[in-house]
Structure 1
Amino acid sequence: MTADAPYDGTDFYCDIAVPHPERLDVVHEDERVLAFHHTRPFWAVHVVVVPKRHLASLTTLTDDDADDVRALLSVVQTVARQVETEHGAAAVLTNLGAYQDSKHLHVHVHSGDRLVR
């Protein structure tokens, strides 16, 4: 998927990413988690990690979500370790509330300079 491809829905992850991973530059995929290079990166290296099951955000999780969260964090750790090893540094970020454009839990793993937009 290119940065020019328009998307005006409210949940890119449920609508596009999870059902169509072939459109993305996938880093990891299993039955619970998808990780891919951001389609419109903010940083030189920018990977997004999402649970395949819709979970609204970090602050709405319940005990019923524990298996998905463990799987998500395991992939975040693996991706972050790889980015840190390859680039010397990595940051892990999730957004909440008004900062969260898509209301589907997702974690950014990034490194390098912020790209000019």
Structure 2
Amino acid sequence: METDNVLAFYHTRPYYPVHIVTIPKRHISSLITLEERDNPLLIELIDVVKKIAIQVVSEHGACKMITNLWEYQDSKHLHFHVVFGQPLTKS
């Protein structure tokens, strides 16, 4: 899914059977670095996450929305994961 300001895509190295990442196209390093001027972008981002979550729930019955901060944040760009299922084992 894509809008003028937001992109959602399947994770390139998924940790779950369904693993979709949603990002703003403009760089924002983290949820906690958002500024008041970013509010319209955040609303658009959450709207895309909501649409993806609705789709995953309709197909699978449930989902999680995850975001990580600072040391837990591998990618230093604001993003939300919409996931379903048990974590995949990595070998």
Q: One fold, TM greater than 0.5? A: yes
CA distance in 2, matches of 1:67, 1:54: 14
Q: CA RMSD in A?
A: 0.6
1:53 aligns with 2:26: yes
Aligned-residue identity in percent: 51
Aligned to 1:82: 55
Deviation at 1:30, TM superposition (A): 1.3
How much has 1:49 moved relative to structure 2? 0.3
User: Which blocks of at least 5 consecutive residues in structure 2 are unaligned?
Assistant: none
One-letter amino acid of the counterpart of residue 84, structure 1: V
RCO (CA 8 Å, sep 6+): is it higher in 1 or 2?
2
Gaps (5+ residues) in structure 1? 1-27
Q: CA deviation at 1:86?
A: 0.3
How far residue 113 of structure 1 moved from its aligned partner, in angstroms, is 1.7
Pairing partner for 1:65 from 30, 38, 41: 38
> Which residue does 1:5 correspond to in 2?
none
Report the residue type matching 1:110 in the other structure: V
Q: Which runs of 4+ in 1 moved over 3 A?
A: none
Q: Which residue of 2 aligns with 1:94?
A: 67
- Distance in 1, Cα, partners of 2:55 & 2:20: 11
| Distance in 2 (alpha carbons) for counterparts of 1:110 and 1:58 | 19
